[in-house]
Chains A and B, each alone.
Chain A
Amino acid sequence: MNNHLLSINDLSREEILNVLGTAAELEKITSGPTKKLPTLRGRTVVNLFFEDSTRTRISFETAAKRLSADVINFSAKGSSVSKGESLKDTAQTLQAMGADAVVIRHGSSGAAQRLADSGWISASVINAGDGTHEHPTQALLDAFTMSKSFPERNGDFTGLKVAIVGDILHSRVARSNVLLLAKLGAEVTLIAPPTLLPVGIDTWPVRTSYDFDESLESFDVVMMLRIQLERMNNFYFPSEREYSRRYGLNENRLLRMKNGSIVMHPGPMNRGLEISAASADSSRSVIVDQVGNGVSTRMAVLYLLLGGVPLSEVSS
């Protein structure tokens, strides 16, 4: 693996499978009464969050702590960073503190790459979501969840039919998932109103559809994306009610999904908008599993990037 994880493009197919395999192994090791491994003892992981995201921050924090790393949470929102202190100054501060890895969440697309390429910092940079660009660890945890949900496939994604539904235009989760699933050979369909599909999407390795009902029965995975209500103000769709009716996962649609298929959502959900409560809580839903899988996947990423003590030594 490279020094950084900025985009799914940084990973080969083999490296993706290695992350998923490592996540499975770590999950097994830490499922016992002792959840903690000494593998990253003495290393420092900084969670640098320019945007609020309690879920992602806690997930990375838990992952780092289970590997015995020291964790510093740097919430830059509302601090000197929001105006005045630059990304550069913050990076240099973290460098001076001896950070080994920086997990960055930022509202600006490309911020993680900027941090990694700038020469301001020598730590590994892990992109925990940059603007509307990518969220690579989310895609990895989603793939980990899918591989566990279809154990009969033995990690083979070829021909797995995945629908991603919602605000593709602004979704970093969708971008990372499209790249990752294409590398693993899954068949991805993006479903959204035309306003929420980016211009240029015809070059992506996906199918697109404006109609959620068209081939709903064919999907193995239906991944719902959070819809942000402020999108309405820019005329992306006329009303919550209409969006929910045309693109929400309601009970009728849930009933039409094929046997063995699963429902995913990166969270946080707008229950009653893009997903009904019944769908979110149904037996098809693996949404809660995604959260747990997030910790194992992020442990795997930290472990592989920071090159900790080999797992064969710590598990014995």
Chain B
Amino acid sequence: MTYTLSGVSLANGEVTNVVISGNSIVSVGAKVDGEVIDCSGLMVLPGFVDLHTHLREPGKEDSETVLTGSRAAVKGGFTAVSAMANTSPVSDTAGVVEQVFRLGKEAGLCEVFPIGAVTVGLQGEKLSEIGAMAESAARVRVFSDDGKCVSDPLVMRRALEYVKAFGGVIAQHAQDPRLTENSQMNEGEVSSRLGLAGWPAVAEEAIIARDILLADHVKSRLHICHLTTKGGVELVRWAKSQGIDVTAEVTPHHLLLTDSLVESYDPVYKVNPPLRTNEDVLALRAGLADGTIDIVATDHAPHPTEDKECEWSAAAFGMLGLETAFSVIAKTMVETGLMTWGQVSQVLSINPARIGGYARQGQEIAQGSLANLTVIDTTAHWTVDRELLASKSRNTPFHGQKLPGKVIHTIFEGVLVVQGSELTGMKHE
């Protein structure tokens, strides 16, 4: 099939036509071919890439499956997601990562890259068969015990060293377990009043500092998941200034929401790492704008209603993110003048594709590139309605919020999987 996105803007503001045939871009310029999709007033960007997604399958299919998560992803403009390893069974063997990979292929809406567990059962004690996962059909390159921290320094050191054999990266969930036992929210002024056990910034920063030094020592590649504190941003900034091979991500919710929302005791705001202070939010935005933080990743964490419809301490940690990520970035980074659309494309697509080694993603919008694209309306506003989400779960903290920027079309390997902000039912075979 051949079609043309006509009158579409590139991130630099240039208006052009993009002709797609098969799975590739065949022309960017004056030429029009095949069916014409009028994209005047819209902008085309490389398809978004999420390096941090919980798809819950296998094991927790009541909250999300690879298929429903893929639907949510493409509605949010993502053409690739990375499925975190805390499934049940844990994605710590070639068998499980291949299963997730195959489910992604069957869904056919976006690329699904399984992330392998660093340690067996996420227990932090014994390295999982990282090499077998790397050599499997899923070709895993990103390894993480996300949800849990690889807290033992020796295990972390060995993991960092081991993945060098095939260019892998360890994505660390930085949380000192002893400093965060039973913790419920950011430790500070709000937690002191609410009587909820604190999750102090130092518990995150101490691990980041240690892992930066370990990565430097063994000359390996470290990725810090969901940075949330001002101090963490400063540590990563220092590491980069020293030439240490570290990258970092921030979630959309940590760019917008603060711990004052916890005053409602509504567990929709319960997330790990927790919402921090306004000062942290501003530091994260500045860090993302100046390149200290490389990417935005959603930490999309679906939970069934009953796990949030309860008292705070009994509720699960986590928030949905895929379908609102782009709009939250538009609000926090573009509307504020901190970033251009070109920079958005860097942090949502080009950089995460590079970190994950996702060669088919984040390509330049040019003749010969693969057609993994997102067409957005930068001027539209929409109101988040949790009942209209494609995700199987409803735990979005943005319900009822009016946000700028809307995903209109998503193109995966040339296939229009989302058109006019709705799933088309088409998939890549």
Interface residues of A (CB under 8 A from B): 86-88, 106-111, 113-114, 117-118, 130-134, 170, 172, 175, 198-201, 203-204
| Complex interface: chain B residues within 8 A of A170 (CB) | 195
Cα distance, A110 to B266, chains bound together (Å): 9
- Among candidates B184, B188, B264, B310, residue contacting A87 with C-beta atoms closer than 8 Å: B310
Cα distance, A103 to B311, chains bound together (Å): 16
Contact yes or no, B195 A117, CB < 8 A: no
Beyond the given pairs A110-B194, A113-B265, A175-B193, 4 more chain A to chain B contacts, judged by CB atoms under 8 angstroms and listed by A's residue number, are A108-B312, A109-B184, A133-B194, A199-B188
Contact yes or no, A131 B188, CB < 8 A: no
Contact yes or no, A199 B200, CB < 8 A: yes
- Among candidates A108, A131, A200, residue contacting B192 with C-beta atoms closer than 8 Å: A200
Those of B179-200 within 8 Å (CB) of chain A: 184, 187-198, 200
| Complex interface: chain B residues within 8 A of A113 (CB) | 264-265
| Complex interface: chain B residues within 8 A of A199 (CB) | 187-188, 191-192, 198, 200
Interface residues on B, range: 20 to 34
Cα distance, A117 to B265, chains bound together (Å): 10
| Complex interface: chain A residues within 8 A of B99 (CB) | none
| Complex interface: chain A residues within 8 A of B311 (CB) | 87, 106, 108, 110-111, 114
Cα distance, A113 to B314, chains bound together (Å): 14
Those of B89-111 within 8 Å (CB) of chain A: none
Of all chain A residues, the one with the shortest Cβ separation from B181 is: A234
Q: Say yes or no for B306: interface residue by CB 8 A criterion.
A: yes
CB A90 to nearest CB in B, in angstroms, measures: 11
Cα distance, A86 to B308, chains bound together (Å): 11
Cα distance, A114 to B268, chains bound together (Å): 12
Q: Say yes or no for B313: interface residue by CB 8 A criterion.
A: yes
Contact yes or no, A133 B195, CB < 8 A: yes
| Complex interface: chain B residues within 8 A of A107 (CB) | 313
Of all chain B residues, the one with the shortest Cβ separation from A111 is: B311
Given A109-B265, A199-B198, A199-B200; A86-B191 close (CB under 8 Å): no
Contact yes or no, A88 B195, CB < 8 A: no
Cα distance, A131 to B200, chains bound together (Å): 20
8 tightest A-B CB contacts, nearest first: A110-B265, A200-B192, A133-B195, A132-B195, A198-B192, A200-B189, A108-B313, A108-B311
CB A120 to nearest CB in B, in angstroms, measures: 9
CB A188 to nearest CB in B, in angstroms, measures: 15
Those of B153-195 within 8 Å (CB) of chain A: 184, 187-195
- Among candidates A86, A110, A201, residue contacting B196 with C-beta atoms closer than 8 Å: A110
Those of B255-271 within 8 Å (CB) of chain A: 264-266
| Complex interface: chain A residues within 8 A of B190 (CB) | 200
Given A109-B312, A131-B195; A86-B189 close (CB under 8 Å): no
Contact yes or no, B309 A204, CB < 8 A: no
Q: Which of A106, A131, A170 has the most CB of B within 10 A?
A: A131
- Among candidates B194, B264, B310, residue contacting A109 with C-beta atoms closer than 8 Å: B194
Some 10 contacts from A to B, beta carbons below 8 A apart, are: A86-B310, A86-B314, A111-B312, A114-B266, A117-B265, A133-B195, A133-B196, A200-B190, A200-B193, A204-B192
Given A200-B190, A200-B191; A88-B309 close (CB under 8 Å): yes
Contact yes or no, B187 A175, CB < 8 A: no
Those of B192-247 within 8 Å (CB) of chain A: 192-198, 200
Of all chain A residues, the one with the shortest Cβ separation from B267 is: A114
CB B103 to nearest CB in A, in angstroms, measures: 31
CB B53 to nearest CB in A, in angstroms, measures: 28
- Among candidates A86, A109, A117, residue contacting B313 with C-beta atoms closer than 8 Å: A109
Given A175-B193, A198-B191, A199-B200; A117-B306 close (CB under 8 Å): no
Contact yes or no, B306 A86, CB < 8 A: yes
Of all chain A residues, the one with the shortest Cβ separation from B196 is: A109
Of all chain A residues, the one with the shortest Cβ separation from B265 is: A110
Contact yes or no, A88 B196, CB < 8 A: no
| Complex interface: chain B residues within 8 A of A88 (CB) | 309-310
Cα distance, A96 to B402, chains bound together (Å): 37
| Complex interface: chain B residues within 8 A of A87 (CB) | 310-311, 314
| Complex interface: chain B residues within 8 A of A200 (CB) | 187-193
Cα distance, A170 to B194, chains bound together (Å): 11
CB A45 to nearest CB in B, in angstroms, measures: 21
| Complex interface: chain B residues within 8 A of A131 (CB) | 195-196, 313
Of all chain B residues, the one with the shortest Cβ separation from A134 is: B195
| Complex interface: chain A residues within 8 A of B195 (CB) | 109, 130-134, 170, 172, 175
CB B259 to nearest CB in A, in angstroms, measures: 11
Cα distance, A163 to B261, chains bound together (Å): 32
**B307-349 vs A, Cβ < 8 Å mask (1 yes, 0 no):** 0011111100000000000000000000000000000000000
Contact yes or no, A110 B312, CB < 8 A: yes
| Complex interface: chain B residues within 8 A of A109 (CB) | 184, 194-196, 265, 312-313
